[in-house]
Structure 1
Amino acid sequence: MLFKILLYWAFMAIGIYIGIKRKRSSIRWDAREVTFFKWLLTISLALLIFILGVGIGSNHEVVHNLRRIGFSAVLIAMSGLVGSVVFAYAGRKLIGLDRYCQLADKGADNHHD
């Protein structure tokens, strides 16, 4: 169990390191790379949610008690969703990012087409 947690943290640390190195270099992300990573993220999340659904569906105890735990599960999920949106918005405002996650320049025109 501890190994898995450390493995996840290691993958995250490697990703952060690559992102920082890439940001500091003169090489910038081109549109194709950004599109690829967005696509990869979407596919990865869909696969993760699918695997989670398979795990839940194969657990007979969860399926048997679904009606009883359903309301609580929906309430917890919605609370997490609302909390994530609120804190992401507040964090973005706190560090000065616009709605496109670019540094907001108060004097410049920040319209994106």
Structure 2
Amino acid sequence: MPHLSVAKFGGISVANHDAMTACAKIVIADPNTRVVVLSASAGVTNLLVALVNGVKATEREKLIGNDLHITSGVAKRIFDTVQSYNVRMISYGASTNNVCMLVQSEHSDEIVRSLHKSLFE
């Protein structure tokens, strides 16, 4: 079995163009690198937390589902359900069982009901 390298970059290592270029050179230099994992660049996580904390709780919608990452078709059903709404942000990846959406508060209850119907009924 050939050697497999996984390269993971985030934070300060992808903070600016020069840092990202250095990461790219690392990946290119190792022909065994088959997987590259990239997380938020320096300060971005803090900005996202500040954004979420500045929004009313009724505007933050969280959908929890067991084994979301391995259940075929779930993401399609979610996107099909919310396609007619103005979804400002979708976050997936912090947990394999969590999709967060930032929506206008006047639509939040309707979106939650629609998602529940689409996914659980």
TM-score, with length taken from structure 2: 0.23
Higher relative contact order (CA 8 A, sep 6+): 2
Task: Give the helix-richer structure, 1 or 2.
Answer: 1
Q: Tell which structure's C-alpha radius of gyration is larger.
A: 1
Task: Give the strand-richer structure, 1 or 2.
Answer: 2
